[in-house]
A and B are shown apart, each in its own frame.
Chain A
């Protein structure tokens, strides 16, 4: 069956360092991979999307890589700040035939990131 693993349940790093989160998947060939941020008690918030034919995507201090050979995505936050503390989720999807949107979407269980001052 399709499976997504976010390797670290929790990650603690010093402010200013780069946080690197990992998302691995098996038995799946996603066309799209997304990263979301979730704060306690709130809905996830979209951060970045990367397509299967893209190697890397950047947005401000965020960078995502997508290696379809390794079946892995890395999510980096550079110059981390305490305000970056949250749970980060990766999600995989494929296009639904005949529609311009996704079919089923699968989420990883998340990595809880803590940035200490």
Chain B
């Protein structure tokens, strides 16, 4: 089954404790992206990747890192999470434009 998976689905953590949210797709898509969704602000793109080892900033990249070492995986790294990063995060993949979204990761930073 074609899908995008994210782990974990739910995470509660404390300020400053590094964390990684994994994203994997099995559709051999070149493009992958991370979004955060907040009430009233909609979906905002954090980072995107056009292919292996090629990444670029979206609209809200501050406080996040990404890497794309393999085509199927695109992890999101929060080196020092802060409460304003509490949000619902979605990973997506596409080729070329129709995006497939993962189920989401609900992150709470206390």
The answer to whether A44 has its CB under 8 Å from any CB of chain B is: yes
Interface residues on A, range: 20 to 34
Contacts A/B (CB < 8 Å), 13 sampled: A42-B103, A45-B101, A46-B99, A46-B100, A89-B42, A100-B95, A101-B50, A101-B97, A104-B58, A104-B59, A106-B59, A108-B42, A110-B42
Q: Which residue of B lies closest to A109 (CB)?
A: B42
Q: B96, A104: Cβ atoms under 8 Å? A: no
Interface size on B, residues (CB 8 A): 31
Report how many A-B pairs have Cβ atoms within 8 Å.
Answer: 76
Docked Cα-Cα span, A95 to B54, in Å, equals: 15
Contact B44 A43 (CB under 8 A): no
Residues of A within 8 A of B99 (CB): 34, 36, 44, 46, 91, 105
B12 within 8 A of A: no
Cross-chain contact of B42 among A34, A46, A102, A107 (Cβ < 8 A)? A107
Measured CA separation A108–B48 after assembly (Å): 18
Q: Say whether B94 contacts A101, CB under 8 Å.
A: yes
Give the chain B neighbours of A101 by CB distance below 8 A.
30-31, 50, 94-97
Q: Are B30 and A100 in contact (CB under 8 A)?
A: yes
Cβ–Cβ contact A43 & B50, under 8 A: no
For the complex, give the distance between the alpha carbons of A91 and B44 in Å. 11
Q: Which residues of B contact A106 (CB under 8 A)?
A: 45, 59
Which has the most chain B C-beta neighbours within 10 Å: A42, A93, A96, A101?
Answer: A101
**Does B56 interact with chain A (Cβ within 8 Å)?**
yes
Judging by beta carbons under 8 Å apart, are B97 and A32 in contact?
Answer: yes
- In B34-73, which residues have CB < 8 Å from any A CB? 35, 40-45, 48, 50-51, 54, 56, 58-59
Q: Kindly list chain A residues whose C-beta atoms are within 8 Å of the C-beta of B54.
A: 99
Known: A43-B92, A110-B42. Is A105-B48 also a contact (CB below 8 A)?
yes
Interface string of A43-70 (1 = CB under 8 A from B): 1111001000000000000000000000
Which of B41, B44, B50, B95 gathers the greatest number of chain A CB atoms within 10 Å?
A: B50
**Which of B75-110 touch A at CB < 8 Å?**
90, 92, 94-104
